[in-house]
């Protein structure tokens, strides 16, 4: 057995690998414990694996040989030459995870969580979501043939409501912000025997994010990047990318690179970045206010762990305003041809700030994680797109509006 226990990250108590998510003793989060001695994985086995993130299956907490998959992962890692010039750095890559089956990185965690849910015998999967997770759980729930219940804040962007609703889940709009949706789902998870992917399946779910560490290393020719910039809401993604790189290092798949971790947050929801800047390990919950709804978490469950990775890796964190988020989205689109959602604007905006502040070394490699698709948050950039030049269907009319042509 590659894994059979969960363990509390705080007090180290062990639990069986079932659908439990907090330590009964101290309420700390539980994490899957692997028996690394019994894990058989190498550069060669990975390279021969399926063209999805399931090529890393030995390091994922699922036993089944037929996971619930829609071809998630193995998204492009693109060298960003134009953005390098614009920002004055030497080696920049974009991990474009906006092209997953439901257009965000959440498919990585959901393929693992729903596969595990089916393995544990649940007939219903559910989630609390800021939007992207809703889309993903709705899709994978249907693919798995399970009943699907999705909870979102009632005021979510249209692109995400449609992106989830098209799969015909039971879609619930909660009047409140994400932290309130989350609180409600915490209560519901104790009431119904459902697989809540980010509540009672969280230890399995979160492991899916490690594949963003594995994949980037593989795509760089089995080496770790020297610096990464990761968007943060709950802080889970950053923590798991770190874990993914560490596992690869410890299994000898890559050399140790001392990767420095940089966190990116929206200014109206930045309790982790604030703690990094103040250099104190207390994450103070905030009332959120930002256009980056996918990052609008005021009470980050993994905040302390993300803070810890940033600190011990020698990284830093930035937060960006709504205006800087929109500028970040425009900058990425107009230099690299990648249209990202507001969370990606946060990441690009933070990259720029961290370079300007001298926190990121311009001579060493940088990977930024773009986790969601721009078509889902069109409201944010409606006023920032090219204006349509209306013309008559004639050559003259076109020449009038486009004097530089020919």
Partner 1 sequence: MAKVKIPQPLRNLTGGNNEVSLTGSKVGEVLSELEKEYPSIKERLRDDEGKLRRFINIFVNGDDIRHLEGEATPVSDSDEITILPAIAGG
Q: How far is the CB of 360 from partner 1 (least distance, A)?
A: 24
Smallest gap, in angstroms, from Cβ of residue 276 to partner 1? 17
Least distance from C-beta 31 to partner 1, angstroms?
Answer: 12
Verify binding: residue 212, partner 1, rule CB under 8 A. no
Can residue 183 be called a binding residue for partner 1 (CB under 8 A)? yes
Binding residue for partner 1, selected from 2, 55, 95, 106, defined by CB under 8 A:
106
Q: Does 199 bind partner 1 (CB under 8 A)?
A: yes
What letters, b where the CB count within 10 A reaches 16 and e where it falls short, cover 32-64?
A: bbbeeeeeebeeeebeebeebbbbbbbbbbbee
Question: Minimum Å distance from CB 234 to partner 1?
Answer: 3
Among 145, 252, 285, 314, binds partner 1 (CB under 8 A): 285
Rounded Cα distance, 137 and 147, in Å: 10
* Nearest-approach distance from CB 11 to partner 1, in angstroms: 10
Site string for partner 1, 66-105 (x = CB under 8 A): ----------------------------------------
Q: How far is CA 223 from each of CA 77, 158, 179, 246, rounded to the nearest angstrom?
A: 13, 39, 37, 12
Q: For 260, phi and psi rounded to 5 degrees?
A: -95, 135
Q: Could you give the CA distance from residue 183 to residue 283 in angstroms, rounded to a whole number?
A: 18
Q: Which among 85-93, 233-241, 323-331, 361-369 is the span making contact with partner 1, rule CB under 8 A? A: 233-241
CA distances 203 to 102, 109, 119, 173, 236, Å, are 22, 10, 15, 26, 11
Residue 148 touching partner 1 (CB under 8 A): no
d(CA 261, CA 228): 5
Does 14 bind partner 1 (CB under 8 A)? Our answer is no
* Shortest Cβ 170–partner 1 spacing (Å): 16
Return the percent helix, strand and coil in the chain, to nearest 5. 45, 15, 40
Q: Which of 2, 3, 17, 29 binds partner 1 (CB under 8 A)?
A: 29
Determine the Cα–Cα distance for residues 186 and 183; give it in Å rounded to an integer: 5
* Size of interface with partner 1, in residues (CB under 8 A): 48
Q: How many residues does the structure list for the chain?
A: 406
Q: Please give the DSSP secondary-structure letter assigned to residue 248.
A: H
- Tell me if 235 contacts partner 1 by CB under 8 A: yes
CB of 130 to partner 1, least distance (A): 6
304 binds partner 1 (CB under 8 A): yes
Q: Which long-range contacts (CB under 8 A, 24 or more apart) does 381-387 make?
A: 381/326, 381/329, 381/330, 384/326, 384/329, 384/330
Residues that bind partner 1 (CB under 8 A): 10, 21-29, 106, 127-130, 132-134, 176, 178-180, 182-183, 185-187, 189-190, 197-199, 202, 205-206, 233-236, 284-285, 287, 297, 299-302, 304
């Amino acid at each position: 057995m590659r894994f059979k226990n969960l363990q509390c990250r705080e007090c180290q108590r062990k639990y069986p690998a079932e659908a439990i998510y907090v330590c009964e003793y101290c309420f700390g989060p539980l994490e899957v414990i692997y028996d690394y001695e019994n894990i058989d994985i190498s550069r060669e086995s990975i390279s021969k694996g399926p063209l999805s993130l399931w090529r890393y299956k030995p390091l994922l907490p699922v036993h089944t040989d037929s996971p619930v998959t829609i071809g998630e992962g193995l998204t492009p890692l693109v060298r960003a030459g134009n953005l390098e010039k614009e920002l004055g750095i030497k080696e920049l890559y974009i991990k474009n995870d906006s092209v997953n089956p439901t257009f965000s990185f959440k498919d990585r965690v959901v393929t693992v969580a729903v596969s595990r849910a089916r393995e544990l015998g649940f007939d219903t999967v559910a989630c609390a979501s800021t939007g992207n997770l809703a889309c993903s759980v709705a899709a994978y729930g249907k693919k798995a043939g399970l009943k699907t219940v999705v909870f979102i804040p009632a005021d979510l962007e249209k692109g995400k409501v449609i992106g989830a609703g098209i799969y015909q889940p039971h879609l619930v709009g909660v009047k409140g912000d994400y932290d309130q949706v989350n609180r409600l789902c915490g209560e519901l998870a104790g009431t119904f025997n459902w697989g809540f992917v980010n509540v009672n399946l969280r230890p399995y779910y979160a492991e899916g994010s490690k594949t963003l560490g594995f994949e980037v290393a593989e795509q760089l020719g089995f080496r770790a990047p020297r610096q990464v910039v990761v968007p943060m809401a709950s802080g889970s993604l950053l923590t798991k990318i770190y874990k993914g790189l560490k596992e690869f290092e410890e299994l000898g798949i890559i050399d140790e690179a001392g990767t420095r971790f940089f966190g990116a947050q929206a200014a109206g929801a930045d309790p982790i970045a604030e703690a990094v800047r103040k250099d104190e390990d207390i994450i103070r919950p905030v009332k959120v206010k930002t256009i980056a709804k996918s990052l609008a978490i005021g009470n980050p469950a993994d905040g302390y762990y993300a803070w810890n990775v940033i600190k011990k890796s020698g990284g830093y964190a930035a937060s960006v305003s709504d205006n800087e988020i929109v500028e970040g989205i425009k900058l990425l689109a107009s230099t690299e041809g990648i249209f990202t959602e507001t969370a990606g604007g946060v990441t690009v905006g933070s990259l720029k700030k961290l370079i300007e502040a001298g926190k990121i070394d311009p001579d060493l490699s940088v990977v930024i994680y773009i986790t969601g698709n721009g078509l889902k948050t069109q409201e944010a950039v409606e006023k920032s797109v090219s204006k349509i030049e209306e013309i008559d269907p004639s050559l003259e009319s076109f020449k009038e509006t486009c004097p530089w042509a020919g």
